[in-house]
Chains A and B, each alone.
Chain A
Amino acid sequence: MMPESNDIIIDVKHLKNNLGGKWVHNDVTFSVKRGEIVAIIGGSGCGKTTLLRSILQLQPPTGGDISVFGVDMKKASEKEALSVQKRWGVMFQGGALFSSLNVFENVMYVLNEYAAVSFESKKELAKLKIAMSGLESEAGIKYPSELSGGMKKRAALARAIALDPELIFLDEPTTGLDPKSASGLDDLILEMRKNLGLTFVMVTHDLDTLRYVPDRVIFLGEGRVLAAESMEALQKNSHPAIQSYFSGHRGHRDNEKGEMHAE
């Protein structure tokens, strides 16, 4: 939404995390610019989720600095933190929709809390967000338990964009979806970036999404950022951990034959 495109939204510096006596992050440093789509990848247990939880303030980091929208999240007062929380939206892996509310009420829940418009407009806006997430309006009256996996993800996205955030976190957005729904969601993310000027940070393992959607891919490993570059560059990266990540038969599908074993 903002015209400026070069300012940094998320700045993580020398992040350290120790979980149960094990160092998950030793020195994680990266930044995300406005309007970017950044994917965070890495082998299982490399601390992607921990990183996301640290940024989201769900888990205080052991050391290092995290600032979001220029606010130092470690020192932020409750008021400052709230102002940041209103500017981001999160789509959790399983959706994390409130199971006792239907989709419409889930979206209304945040709007009721923070939106400064009349109740009628809030209802219209909630319907609008549901439509923008690519859900049929009939889905609005359904409860989360009645939704398919793809619809749940879209409903979670509708709730995440309810307050028109500038930054959206997506945890495994396409996991468990059929190829059609997954590519639909990929397109939706790109479309939202274009139309709403959103910045996306996603954690994903879906190689098709990785090739199609993000501008930059951050590869976590050995407790730090091993690479932060475009997907094409990353697949040619000679670091052994990155090579081994793409070494399964799935990782090679789109590569040219000559580059398959870059040793």
Chain B
Amino acid sequence: MPRSTTDSASIEITQENAVLLKGKWLIGNLTAVEKWIQKSLPNQSKIQTIDASHIKNMDTAGAFLLYKIQQKLNGNVKLDGLSEHFQDLFSAVISSIESMQKKPAEISQHNWFYHVGKATVELIKDSLEFFAFLGETFIDFLEIIKKPAKLQFRSMVHEIDVGGYRALPIIAVMMLLIGVVVAYQLGVQLRIYGANVYMVDLSGVAILREFSPLICSVIIAGRTSTSFAALLGTMKVNEEIDALKTMGLSPIERLVIPKIFGLLIALPLLVVWGDIFGVFGSMIMAKSMISVGFHAFLERFRQEVAIKHLYIGLVKTPVFALIIAGIGCYQGFQASGSAESVGERTTKAAVQAIFLIILADGIFSILFNWLDI
């Protein structure tokens, strides 16, 4: 017998000063009744009885409203004709309501002072934990250097595959476009001075030194840092990390170190791959814009762009790799309990990793300036 919503609930006052309840008192059709109770009921002080004999069906919401009616009429009215199988329901609802009222649940309200304090304490705790994580990782890192056999070789290779090899297409496309864009902008400016051919030198240096390491790292931060955070966060929520600990295995040694090593190997290779496509993008632009053919471009590239620029670009990559893997894993470990916290930590991983990469790149520029490289 399907519940029909047309058979709605109703409430009215009879001439004998009784409240007459009719119809199906179900959660889906109580809106009108509830409004009526709130508006019209308190004015009726003469009421002696509640006639519930016409109630065809009732659920806890209906019983709850019936209880409310009783309360509004100060409880000294008689409840008549409630059929037997609703009696049990009604008394169960009443006893639950009474047990509720004994211990009211208070959702604690705090002022802004509390929130500022809490946020500050959490920030301090967060940074302390980050240092603890760094320390732990460093110690395990040294262990691995001492005993390379302990390195999880298979998972390291897996990281190189997932984080490096499978990122080749996107890096290629991105760097090709960057190369085209850089060369075009240089070409526009250089044409004014008739110094077209310097496009080769300038775009080569810019791509090898700055663009390729930075763009590749940012892409890998968006791709890999977040995936580390989501993976470890989910493992944390599923108690997989705790399971590892109980087996006497270090989660850092098992999960973090292979990722760090994998990325330390993959990122420099990706940057070289990015260099190739970036320069290729400039070559395309040079040919179509200033009619410098591929052969002439490469000839000049070899003469004018010193190999040190490639090395300078590559020197930065281990630092970027450490930032990407470290932040991703750290944020994953910080997840707790809920699906929401995994999402939040994943976002933080991407934002912090990219922020720190750009910060580190800035520091490198200052450093190279001092060293006059």
| Alpha-carbon distance between A225 and B348 when the two chains are bound, in angstroms | 52
Interface flags, A103-135, vs B, CB<8A=1, else 0: 010000000001111100100110111011000
Of B90-98, B180-188, B249-257, the segment with at least 4 beta carbons within 8 Å of chain A is: B90-98
Set of chain A residues within 8 Å of B104, measured between Cβ atoms: 137
| Alpha-carbon distance between A118 and B65 when the two chains are bound, in angstroms | 11
Given A69-B2, A164-B27: A125 in contact with B61 (beta carbons within 8 A): yes
Tell me how many residue pairs across A and B have CB atoms closer than 8 Å: 113
Residue of A nearest to B32 (CB): A116
Given A117-B30, A117-B34, A117-B61: A137 in contact with B1 (beta carbons within 8 A): no
Is A141 part of the contact surface with B, judged by Cβ < 8 Å?
Answer: yes
Q: Which of B230-287 contact A (CB under 8 A)?
A: 237
B1 pairs with A131, CB closer than 8 A: no
A138 pairs with B338, CB closer than 8 A: no
Set of chain B residues within 8 Å of A195, measured between Cβ atoms: 88-89, 91-92
Set of chain B residues within 8 Å of A164, measured between Cβ atoms: 26-27, 59-61
Interface flags, A223-248, vs B, CB<8A=1, else 0: 00000000000000000000000000
Q: Which of B59-86 contact A (CB under 8 A)?
A: 59-61, 64-65, 83, 85-86
| Alpha-carbon distance between A3 and B96 when the two chains are bound, in angstroms | 23
B338 pairs with A143, CB closer than 8 A: yes
Of A116, A121, A129, the residue contacting B28 (CB under 8 A) is A116
Residue of B nearest to A87 (CB): B3
Is A194 part of the contact surface with B, judged by Cβ < 8 Å?
Answer: yes
| Alpha-carbon distance between A31 and B60 when the two chains are bound, in angstroms | 27
Is B340 part of the contact surface with A, judged by Cβ < 8 Å?
Answer: yes
Set of chain B residues within 8 Å of A136, measured between Cβ atoms: 103
| Alpha-carbon distance between A146 and B338 when the two chains are bound, in angstroms | 10
Set of chain A residues within 8 Å of B339, measured between Cβ atoms: 98-100
Interface flags, A70-100, vs B, CB<8A=1, else 0: 1100000000000100110000000000111
| Alpha-carbon distance between A98 and B338 when the two chains are bound, in angstroms | 8
Of B1, B38, B107, B340, the residue contacting A100 (CB under 8 A) is B340
Given A2-B1, A125-B61: A100 in contact with B338 (beta carbons within 8 A): yes
| Alpha-carbon distance between A195 and B31 when the two chains are bound, in angstroms | 24
Given A3-B85, A137-B104, A194-B88: A128 in contact with B96 (beta carbons within 8 A): yes
Q: Tell me, rounded to whole Å, the shortest Cβ–Cβ distance linking B270 to chain A.
A: 35
B88 pairs with A114, CB closer than 8 A: no
Q: Tell me, rounded to whole Å, the shortest Cβ–Cβ distance linking A39 to chain B.
A: 23
Of A87, A104, A125, the residue contacting B60 (CB under 8 A) is A125
Set of chain A residues within 8 Å of B2, measured between Cβ atoms: 69-71, 83
| Alpha-carbon distance between A127 and B88 when the two chains are bound, in angstroms | 19
A117 pairs with B27, CB closer than 8 A: yes
| Alpha-carbon distance between A79 and B340 when the two chains are bound, in angstroms | 31
Is B135 part of the contact surface with A, judged by Cβ < 8 Å?
Answer: no
Interface flags, B327-339, vs A, CB<8A=1, else 0: 0000000001111
Given A7-B1, A124-B64: A144 in contact with B337 (beta carbons within 8 A): yes
Set of chain B residues within 8 Å of A141, measured between Cβ atoms: 105, 107
| Alpha-carbon distance between A121 and B88 when the two chains are bound, in angstroms | 21
A residues near B (Cβ < 8 Å) are 1-4, 7, 69-71, 83, 86-87, 98-100, 104, 114-118, 121, 124-125, 127-129, 131-132, 136-138, 140-141, 143-146, 161, 163-164, 191, 194-197
With contacts A83-B3, A136-B103 known, what are 7 further pairs, Cβ within 8 A? Answer: A100-B338, A116-B31, A117-B65, A131-B100, A195-B88, A196-B59, A196-B89
24 contacts between A and B (CB under 8 A): A1-B59, A2-B1, A2-B57, A3-B85, A83-B2, A114-B28, A116-B29, A117-B30, A121-B64, A121-B65, A125-B61, A127-B100, A127-B105, A128-B96, A132-B60, A137-B100, A143-B337, A143-B338, A144-B337, A145-B338, A161-B60, A163-B27, A195-B89, A195-B92
